[in-house]
């Protein structure tokens, strides 16, 4: 229970509704635990005594019952409604808290993470934590009040009639209920955590299937995908049944133990010749004392399920944010000098991606990075964007180490066009606008024209208001890439990274883009990650990467003559053409 305490602070945003819910819980508990049994002792003697009641007395006595139930039911409904309101608000706050933390985590965190599992944590686990907080917040007051009210009624009945003192001994079975509650709670905790993990696996299978729908059709993988999903669903089914088994078995156990106490009370009441109205009040009071125990056992189970979900959420919330602004970080208002890598080394796992890289990228020039796949070209650009931090060495912009620059300021000075651009399920206009949120519509359309995207955009039925679909599924690869290039035109940053930005374009479009890029790169520092050697013709400097090192640099002519790796890569592409 202690682990949930920090999350109860979220209730302060709904404290009025929560206090109202608690007041209603107290009213419900008193009317249930104390009101109903005492009502019976007051009502039955008037109705079934030796003297016939008058019409007025009869009407008043009979009216007590619906009034008590009306108060009980209205307070019960108000309690449930207000608690649900608080719960939905808490769920929203927890999800925002987790989602916001994910936005702050470094890219390295997601490399070995199951995306479906992360989705499950944001959606399913937060829902479970919310349910636990609300059930606990509600019943930890309502059920004890009901129990105390029932105990008060039992004590009142005992003091009123000495023959009924024995009924207090029937409560001795209550401690016995603790043992099944503790045993079941331990079982549920372990199985609930496994169930939440398996939900993450199921979510990942579905997510992966939907994102690879074309490949599945192309390779006739439908049957294997169904079998894969069936296996994960069966595993989840078994775990869910185990949780249900232990959740539902507790109530019958406690009811059985409680029935023994009630049976003993009835036995002694019959032996003592206690009146019927008092026996009925006794049974109601005993029921109202045992029922909260049963529900408190349910709360215990709910807490155990919540602990499993909370542990998975806190794995995200407790993850350290390794890439963040230093307290004294500065703003880079306008990059205008040079980029310098000093003895930079980096590895993703154990294999080095960059090893002791030293280079100087002059401002206003175009620099091409070439080399075989896995040589470190993309890692070079990722470190400059500070998607990762180097393990050794330093990267400087205008003689300032990038870890001394505010991250937003650093990335504001850099535009990037990736090889496989990601488009959001939004309009084309908004997809271009993400690089400059305050841009006018005219600025966006000008950027699209420079990227030679305006022609195909205008041909669409809704033009710039066309929704591109999830990950741009309604557009071709070339169209998606031109929208990504338009983003770079719109942002107009002093540093431009092109990760083979024209690879998905046809020859005619590529020639137009190359012409546009010549205008775009004027006065900018450009880094081209080149996979096709036709894109490096505009480069002032070419850096040749191999096994994480820059083995040589220069222009095309000098490298072709002096660098065997560069020559072989260039000749191989020429032959393939």
Count of structural domains, the chain? 3
Q: Are residues 219 and 204 in the same domain?
A: yes
Question: Which tens digit of pLDDT belongs to each residue from 11-24?
Answer: 778 888 888 888 88
**Residue finishing a domain among 462, 492, 522:** 492
The whole-angstrom separation of Cα 399 and Cα 364 is 16
Question: Which tens digit of pLDDT belongs to each residue from 194-210?
Answer: 887 787 788 888 877 87
Q: Are residues 404 and 387 in the same domain?
A: yes
Q: Are residues 282 and 166 in the same domain?
A: yes
CATH classification of the domain holding 477: 3.40.50.300
The whole-angstrom separation of Cα 35 and Cα 416 is 71
Most confident among 13-27, 35-49, 142-156, 376-390 (mean pLDDT)? 376-390
**Which 8-state DSSP code applies to residue 451?**
T
29's tokens: 């508990």
Q: Pick 565 or 216 by higher pLDDT.
A: 565
Q: Are residues 476 and 507 in the same domain?
A: no
The whole-angstrom separation of Cα 112 and Cα 180 is 40
Question: Which tens digit of pLDDT belongs to each residue from 423-440?
Answer: 888 999 999 999 999 999
Question: Which tens digit of pLDDT belongs to each residue from 113-131?
Answer: 778 788 888 888 888 887 7
Residues 565 and 546: beta-carbon distance below 8 Å: yes
**Residue finishing a domain among 492, 525, 543:** 492
- Tell me whether residue 250 is in a domain: yes
Q: Are residues 462 and 506 in the same domain?
A: no
Question: Which tens digit of pLDDT belongs to each residue from 483-536?
Answer: 988 999 899 899 999 887 666 566 666 666 676 677 777 778 999 987 777 667
Provide the pLDDT confidence category of residue 62 given band limits of 50, 70 and 90: low
Question: Which tens digit of pLDDT belongs to each residue from 157-176?
Answer: 666 665 555 555 555 556 66
Beta-sheet pairing, 541-546 with 392-397: unpaired
Instruction: Examine the pLDDT at 147 and tell me if it is beyond 90.
Output: no
- Tell me whether residue 331 is in a domain: no
- Tell me whether residue 329 is in a domain: no
Tell me the backbone φ, ψ of residue 445, rounded to 5 degrees. Answer: -70, -35
Q: Are residues 270 and 403 in the same domain?
A: no
Question: Which tens digit of pLDDT belongs to each residue from 382-420?
Answer: 999 999 998 899 999 988 999 999 999 999 999 998 878
Beta-sheet pairing, 495-499 with 392-397: unpaired
Q: Are residues 149 and 280 in the same domain?
A: yes
Beta-sheet pairing, 338-347 with 525-529: unpaired
Q: Are residues 473 and 499 in the same domain?
A: no
What is the average pLDDT value for the chain, to the nearest integer?
80
Q: Are residues 139 and 234 in the same domain?
A: yes
- Tell me whether residue 328 is in a domain: no
Tell me the backbone φ, ψ of residue 142, rounded to 5 degrees. Answer: -65, -45
Residues 41 and 278: beta-carbon distance below 8 Å: yes
CATH classification of the domain holding 155: 1.20.1560.10
- Tell me whether residue 330 is in a domain: no
Q: Are residues 365 and 303 in the same domain?
A: no
- Tell me whether residue 152 is in a domain: yes
- Tell me whether residue 184 is in a domain: yes
Most confident among 50-59, 94-103, 114-123 (mean pLDDT)? 94-103
**Residue finishing a domain among 472, 492, 512:** 492
* Structural domain of 42: 2-317
Q: Are residues 27 and 129 in the same domain?
A: yes
Neighbours of 216 (CB within 10 A): 16
Q: Are residues 136 and 24 in the same domain?
A: yes
What's the per-residue H, E or C state across 56-117? HHHHHHHHHHHHHHHHHHHHHHHHHHHHHHHHHHHHHHHHHHHHHHHHHCCHHHHCCCCHHH
The whole-angstrom separation of Cα 199 and Cα 123 is 10
- Tell me whether residue 325 is in a domain: no
pTM above 0.75, yes or no: no
């Amino acid at each position: 229970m202690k682990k949930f305490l920090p999350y109860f602070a979220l209730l302060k945003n709904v404290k009025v509704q929560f206090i109202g819910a608690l007041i209603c819980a107290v009213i419900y508990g008193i009317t249930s635990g104390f009101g109903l049994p005492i009502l019976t002792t007051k009502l039955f003697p008037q109705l079934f005594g030796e003297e016939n009641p008058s019409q007025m007395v009869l009407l008043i006595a009979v009216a007590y019952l619906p009034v008590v139930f009306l108060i009980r039911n209205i307070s019960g409904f108000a309690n449930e409604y207000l608690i649900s309101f608080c719960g939905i608000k808490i769920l929203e706050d927890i999800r925002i808290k987790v989602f916001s933390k994910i936005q702050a985590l470094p890219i390295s965190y997601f490399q070995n993470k199951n995306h479906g599992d992360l989705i499950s944590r944001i959606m399913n686990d937060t829902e479970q934590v919310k349910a636990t907080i609300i059930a606990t917040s509600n019943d930890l007051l309502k059920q004890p009040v009901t129990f105390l009210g029932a105990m008060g009624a039992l004590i009142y009945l005992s003091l009123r009639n000495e023959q009924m003192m024995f009924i207090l001994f029937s409560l001795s079975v209550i401690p016995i209920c603790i043992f099944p509650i503790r045993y079941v709670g331990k079982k549920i905790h372990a199985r609930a955590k496994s169930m939440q993990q398996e939900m993450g696996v199921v979510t990942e299978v579905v997510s992966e299937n939907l994102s690879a729908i074309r490949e599945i059709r192309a390779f006739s993988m439908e049957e294997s995908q169904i079998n894969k999903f069936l296996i994960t669903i069966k595993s989840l089914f078994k775990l869910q049944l185990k949780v249900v088994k232990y959740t539902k078995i507790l109530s019958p156990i406690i009811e059985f133990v409680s029935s023994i106490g009630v049976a003993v009370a009835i036995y002694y009441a019959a032996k003592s010749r206690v009146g019927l109205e008092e026996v009925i009040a006794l049974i109601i009071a005993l029921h109202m004392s045992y029922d909260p125990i049963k529900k408190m056992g349910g709360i215990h189970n709910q807490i155990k399920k919540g602990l499993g979900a909370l542990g998975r959420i806190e794995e995200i919330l407790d993850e350290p944010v390794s890439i963040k602004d230093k307290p004294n970080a500065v703003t880079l208002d306008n990059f205008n000098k040079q980029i310098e890598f000093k003895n930079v080394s980096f590895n993703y796992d154990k294999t080095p991606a960059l090893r002791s890289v030293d280079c100087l990228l002059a401002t206003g020039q175009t620099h091409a990075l070439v080399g075989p796949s896995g040589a470190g070209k993309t890692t070079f650009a990722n470190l400059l964007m500070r998607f990762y931090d180097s393990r050794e060495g330093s990267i400087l912009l205008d003689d300032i180490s990038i870890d001394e620059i505010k991250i937003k300021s650093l990335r504001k000075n850099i535009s990037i066009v990736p090889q496989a651009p990601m488009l959001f399920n939004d309009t084309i206009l908004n997809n271009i606008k993400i690089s400059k949120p305050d841009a006018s519509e005219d600025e966006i359309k000008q950027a699209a024209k420079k990227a030679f995207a305006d022609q195909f955009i205008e041909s669409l039925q809704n033009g710039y208001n066309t929704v591109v679909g999830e990950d741009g599924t309604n557009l071709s690869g070339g169209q998606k890439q031109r929208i990504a290039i338009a983003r770079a035109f719109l942002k107009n940053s002093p540093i431009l990274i092109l990760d083979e930005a024209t690879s998905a374009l046809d020859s005619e479009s590529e020639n137009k883009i190359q012409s546009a890029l010549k205008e775009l790169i004027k006065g900018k520092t450009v880094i081209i990650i080149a996979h096709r050697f036709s894109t490096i013709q505009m480069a002032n400097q070419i850096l040749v990467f191999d096994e994480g090192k820059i083995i040589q640099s220069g222009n095309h002519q000098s490298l072709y003559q002096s660098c065997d790796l560069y020559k072989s890569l260039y000749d191989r592409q020429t032959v393939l053409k």
